[in-house]
Amino acid sequence: MTRQKRLEMLRQPVENGTEALLTLHRGDDGYIAAVRDANFTKPEYYRAGDLLNWFPEFIQAMFRDCYVTINSFKTPWRKGVNVKYLCACYADLDCHNLGITTGQALGAIVDMVGDGVLPQPSLTIHSGRGVWPLWCLCDEKGLPLIADYASRRLYSDVEHVIRDKLADLGADPAATDAARYCRSPSSWNSRAQDGKGAAVVWDVHFVTDPYAMGLETPLYTLPDLAVKLGMGALAEPVEVIRPRALPPPKERKPVAVGERRDVKLDIPERQKKHAAVWVKRLADLRSLLVLRGGLVPIGERQTWAYTWYHCLRRCPSVTIEQAYASTKRLVEEHFEQPSAAGDQYTEKNLERLVKDYGNTVARAKQDAKVAQRLRWRSVELAARLGVTDEEARHLDSIITQAVKDERAAEKKASTERRQNDRQKAREDAEKILRGNPDAGLRQVAKELERSHEWVRQVRKELGITPNERGGPRRGGRRR
């Protein structure tokens, strides 16, 4: 089939595809990531509010194997932590792997909706070989759902429940993250139908809305969607300690030495290879705690507990029980505990943290992207803890980008100085070797404060023979 015929087949669905994308992405100030290849190598970012302008040109220019993100982002950066609007919950049904046709999968979803197992999807994507049911989200006022700490957590729980309910239809176990790509509407799946290809179509579903006196696409709040999925208590808003924005560096006041608490937290002994960096980070965390007076304020407690526990668990010599006991000691000795019961960080909070960490590690074994997020670069960890540049100058492995650049510049300048010193010493050695024929190696080495072996190597590289230096020939055979 020629490109022109395929474009003619897709010409009508372009308008429908734009309508479907407008149904999904309702936050105009969010960024949508789009790619034109199956390797996701060069994402392009577009404003959701400009969909009517860029999408028709985008899909006509390169309609084969195009992808867009389900959720939108704060800035042009496709990461789960950068999600601005949670637009929809989804499931990626690779039903072809189980020998199930798309018609059978759609029929099974309809039966599950009729039996009350699943709520009515808002959108259905026919990807060519599989099916994607989507449940569009909103907040209590019907506006686009902003991603915060609590909504991200509940979103992840809902995604795992949907995946488990649709496992018999080939739900992809790794497709639960908020930064997932899906095939773009009105694009062409080149791998469908044994390589013949098929058009990707998005279907928008409608239900009767008695208040609007017409048909409306179903929208769900996250707690309501969780209740309809039968999650029960998990659907209730969870009591979490949300990390507050830390004060800017200029507002963080140094703690006087007399007001500082003693920090006696134990860290593991020196580790080998990759585990050594986590021991260094634990030492830096202890030093940072000392710099801040040995007391973790309310808004930073959850971040500190999770970071300390995570670094301990990355050390092979530390058991789960030891990591838990050390984190518990951190909580008891260095966490600010107000008198109000609701503001106290209890052992229940710590147990929930350990459970969440275990679930994250389990998902990391199936999803490489989750595993990548657990590695934590030094700059990311510094941003997570709100480390200032002044604090970072006292640390080794938890540093800000500015301090990292400073140290890189110092290292570069030091390298240049050493190179210049070696070059000058080499020039001085050449000058002495050529200008003072009677000078011996040890005499030149003492004058230059270098080893006589270094002088010998320089003489060899310069190609200076004893005759050129003018000294008497010693040793060798006489003729």
**For residue 110, pLDDT beyond 90:** yes
**For residue 275, pLDDT beyond 80:** no
**For residue 192, pLDDT beyond 50:** yes
State the average pLDDT over residues 157-166: 92
State the average pLDDT over residues 36-60: 79
Give the range with max mean pLDDT: 49-53, 108-112, 187-191.
108-112
pLDDT band at 71 (very low <50, low <70, confident <90, very high): very high
| 398 alpha carbon, distance to own chain's centre | 17
> Which pLDDT score, from 0 to 100, does residue 345 have?
82
State the average pLDDT over residues 242-258: 42
Q: What is the CA radius of gyration of the chain?
A: 32
The one-letter amino acid code at 280 reads K
pLDDT band at 5 (very low <50, low <70, confident <90, very high): low
> For 113-155, what is each residue's pLDDT tens digit?
999 999 999 999 988 889 999 999 999 988 999 998 888 889 9
State the average pLDDT over residues 255-264: 51
Pinpoint the alpha helices (H) of 231-275.
none
Q: What is the mean pLDDT of the chain?
A: 79
Residue tagged 């803890």 (tokens): 385
> Which pLDDT score, from 0 to 100, does residue 267 have?
65
**For residue 449, pLDDT beyond 90:** no
**Residue 2 backbone phi and psi in degrees, to 5:** -75, 165
Output 121 or 9, whichever has higher pLDDT: 121
> Which pLDDT score, from 0 to 100, does residue 269 have?
63
> Which pLDDT score, from 0 to 100, does residue 261 have?
52
For residue 81, give the 3-state DSSP assignment.
Answer: helix
> Which pLDDT score, from 0 to 100, does residue 38 have?
67
Q: Which of 408, 414, 448 lies closest to 431 in space, CA to CA?
A: 448
Q: Which of 283, 129, 108, 192 lies closest to 121 in space, CA to CA?
A: 108
Can you list the domains of the chain with their CATH numbers? 3-235 (3.30.70.1790), 249-399 (no CATH), 402-469 (no CATH)
Q: Which of 172, 180, 162 lies closest to 112 in space, CA to CA?
A: 162
Residue tagged 């999904």 (tokens): 24
> Which pLDDT score, from 0 to 100, does residue 362 have?
83
Task: Please give the DSSP secondary-structure letter assigned to residue 373.
Answer: H
**Residue 192 backbone phi and psi in degrees, to 5:** -75, 155
**For residue 165, pLDDT beyond 90:** yes
